[in-house]
């Protein structure tokens, strides 16, 4: 399986802007063929230990059954629409992909 984790730092990182991005993730990025798991949420304020990387506002977590499923998701029109609609508020995006 492929674990696709994306961490977004936002220009406007107000609670409302964070919520809008989480909602956009749920609308455009969930339910794709080959998805085994999907979630999106905001950084957990309660966890601020020295080992916690807190340099993000919203985290996206998607597990795909195969690399082919991941690759199809990357080219899907819903994924492209998500990027087009939300990219203007992205300060930094970090992607961590793992094979598990």
Give the pLDDT mean for 70-85.
98
Give the pLDDT mean for 5-30.
98
This prediction has a pTM of: 0.94
Chain segment 33-53, per-residue pLDDT in tens: 999 999 999 999 999 999 998
For residue 95, give every residue at least 6 positions away whose Cβ sits within 8 Å of its Cβ, in sequence order, or none: 4, 5, 6, 7
For residue 75, the model assigns a pLDDT of 98
Q: Could you give all domains of the chain from N- to C-terminal order, each with its CATH number?
A: 2-44+55-99 (3.30.70.100)
**5: its two tokens:** 């984790």
Q: Determine the 3-state secondary structure of 2 from DSSP.
A: strand
Cα(37)–Cα(9) distance, rounded to whole angstroms?
A: 22
Reported as a pLDDT band with limits 50, 70 and 90, residue 72 is very high
| Mean pLDDT (the chain, rounded) | 97
For residue 51, the model assigns a pLDDT of 92
């Amino acid at each position: 399986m492929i674990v696709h984790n994306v961490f977004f730092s936002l220009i406007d990182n107000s609670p409302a802007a964070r919520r809008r991005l989480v909602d956009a993730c749920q609308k455009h990025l969930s339910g794709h063929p080959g998805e085994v798991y999907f979630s999106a949420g905001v950084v957990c304020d309660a966890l601020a230990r020295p080992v916690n990387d807190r340099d993000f506002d919203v985290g996206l977590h998607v597990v795909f059954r195969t690399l082919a499923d991941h690759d199809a998701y990357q080219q899907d029109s819903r994924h492209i629409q998500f990027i087009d609609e939300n990219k203007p508020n992205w300060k930094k995006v970090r992607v961590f992909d793992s094979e598990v």
